[in-house]
Amino acid sequence: MRKKRKLKSEAGALTRRDFLKGAGVTVSGGLLATGAVTTAQAAAQEGVVGPGPVPITLRINGRVHRLSLEPRITLLDALRDHLNITGSKKVCDRATCGACTMLMDKKPVYACTVLAIEAEGHDITTIESLTENGRLSPVMEAFWKNDAQQCGFCTPGFVMACTAFLEKNPNPTLEQIEKGLGGNLCRCGTYAGIRRAVLEAAKAMKGGQANG
Ligand code: FES
Ligand code: FES
Tens of pLDDT, residues 25-34 = 333 333 344 4
Q: Please say which residue of 74, 102, 129 terminates a domain.
A: 129
Q: What pLDDT score does 210 carry?
A: 44
Residue 148 Cα to ligand 2 midpoint, Å, equals 9
Q: Please say which residue of 94, 129, 164 terminates a domain.
A: 129
* CATH code, 135: 1.10.150.120
Residue 207 Cα to ligand 2 midpoint, Å, equals 29
In terms of domains, do 136 and 169 share one?
A: yes
Q: What pLDDT score does 46 carry?
A: 77
Q: Could you give the count of Cα atoms lying within 13 Å of 33 in the half-sphere of its Cβ?
A: 3
Q: Is residue 10 in a domain?
A: yes
Nearest to 184 by CA among 69, 58, 96, 122: 96
Give CA–CA dist 76/157, Å, rounded: 12
Mean pLDDT, rounded, of the chain: 85
Q: What pLDDT score does 83 carry?
A: 98
* Measured CA angle at 4 (ends 6, 57), to 5 deg: 100
- Total domains in the fold of the chain: 3
Sorted by sequence, the CB contacts under 8 Å of residue 85 that are 6+ apart come out as: 60, 79, 126, 128
Give the residue numbers spanning the domain of 197.
Answer: 131-205
In terms of domains, do 42 and 108 share one?
A: no
In terms of domains, do 137 and 148 share one?
A: yes
Q: Is residue 27 in a domain?
A: yes
Q: Is residue 151 in a domain?
A: yes
User: Does the beta carbon of 92 sit less than 6 angstroms from any atom of ligand 1?
Assistant: yes
Give CA–CA dist 165/53, Å, rounded: 35
In terms of domains, do 93 and 154 share one?
A: no
Give CA–CA dist 182/176, Å, rounded: 10
Sorted by sequence, the CB contacts under 8 Å of residue 35 that are 6+ apart come out as: 16, 19, 20, 23
Q: What pLDDT score does 37 carry?
A: 53
Q: Please say which residue of 101, 129, 157 terminates a domain.
A: 129
Q: Is 57 helix (H, G, I), strand (E, B) or coil?
A: strand
> Crossing angle, helix 29-45 and helix 8-23, to 10 degrees?
130
Query: Ligand 2: residues whose CB is within 6 Å?
Result: 149-155, 186-188, 190
Sites in the chain below the pLDDT cut of 70: 1-44, 208-212
